[in-house]
């Protein structure tokens, strides 16, 4: 796939407040080059990106981390630690350890976090790739319906109950700011996944100044893990080279 030239992001306007000593999540980093940081979804771990990272680590510094309450990261008792904004603080702490301007790549919840990071921290990422994800909900009733489904299904996520709170939508910050976002963004959706992810990708392509959507034929929700890992890695590489 040829991306052409994306418009450059606006100058960096945000400085992450954390230092390397304040990283509280489990981080995995390998390779060298321009940084790419991967975020996983609810109930998953950083291991979900292993195959893609293996195929990119000869050209890039690839990094990923376990969200709080997931994988090898700490499990804290306080539900207030499991919010979108605290997750974004953890992402900031990881970014503060890296040199260079990163590309953020997120799957499902991780994709939403990448979009929320761009919406609240202008100029930090030079590009974003999201897989099978959406920008949240502007309608409060739809947002609460999502939250209620998440609460009902929390036992299926395989994480402590308080960690499942990460999946809740707190506001409509991404939807409210999507038209202002200048960061080059590629949205991938598998054709074998739920159709609303493709709809979300097409919406972002229409609304964002530098948004693009691509369907992955036969891709399921976790298409990056095995069946389409090589294809996803190639697309990320092509996207990074186009910036």
CATH code of 55's domain? 3.40.50.1820
Domain annotation covers residue 94 = yes
Domain annotation covers residue 71 = yes
How many domains does the chain contain in total? 1
Domain range for 73 is 20-242
Domain annotation covers residue 12 = no
- CA 132/CA 232 separation, integer angstroms: 12
Domain annotation covers residue 189 = yes
Domain annotation covers residue 220 = yes
Per-residue pLDDT of the chain (243 residues; tens, 9 = 90+): 444 444 433 333 444 444 445 899 999 999 999 999 999 999 999 999 999 999 999 999 999 999 999 999 999 999 999 999 999 999 999 999 999 999 999 999 999 999 999 999 999 999 999 999 999 999 999 999 999 999 999 999 999 999 999 999 999 999 999 999 999 999 999 999 999 999 999 999 999 999 999 999 999 999 999 889 999 999 999 999 999
Domain annotation covers residue 153 = yes
DSSP 28: E
| Helix 109-120 with 84-95: angle, nearest 10 deg | 80
By C-alpha distance, which of 144, 124, 146 is closest to 134?
Answer: 146
Domain annotation covers residue 14 = no
* Sheet with 34-39: strands ordered across: 27-31, 60-65, 34-39, 103-107, 127-131, 185-190, 211-216
- CA 186/CA 178 separation, integer angstroms: 13
């Amino acid at each position: 796939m040829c991306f052409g030239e994306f418009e450059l992001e606006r100058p960096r306007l945000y400085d992450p407040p954390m230092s390397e000593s304040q990283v509280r999540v489990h981080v995995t980093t390998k390779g060298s080059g321009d940084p790419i940081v991967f975020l996983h979804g609810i109930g998953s771990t950083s291991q979900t990106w292993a195959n893609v990272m293996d195929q990119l680590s000869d050209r890039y510094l690839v990094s990923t981390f376990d969200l709080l309450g997931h994988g090898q990261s700490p499990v804290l008792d306080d539900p207030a630690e499991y919010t979108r904004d605290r997750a974004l603080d953890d992402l900031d702490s990881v970014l503060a350890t890296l040199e260079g301007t990163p590309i953020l790549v997120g799957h499902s919840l991780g994709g939403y976090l990448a979009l929320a990071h761009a919406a609240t921290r202008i100029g930090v990422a030079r590009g974003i790739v999201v897989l099978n994800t959406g920008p949240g909900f502007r309608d409060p009733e739809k947002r609460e319906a999502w939250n209620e489904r998440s609460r009902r299904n929390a036992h299926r996520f395989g994480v402590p109950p308080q960690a499942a709170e990460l999946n809740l939508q707190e506001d409509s910050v991404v939807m409210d700011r999507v038209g202002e976002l200048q960061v080059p963004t590629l949205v991938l959706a598998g054709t074998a996944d739920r159709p609303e992810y493709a709809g979300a990708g097409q919406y972002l392509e229409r609304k964002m100044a530098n948004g693009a959507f691509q369907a992955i034929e036969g891709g399921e929700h976790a298409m990056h893990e095995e069946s389409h890992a090589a294809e996803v890695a190639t697309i990320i590489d092509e996207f990074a080279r186009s910036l």
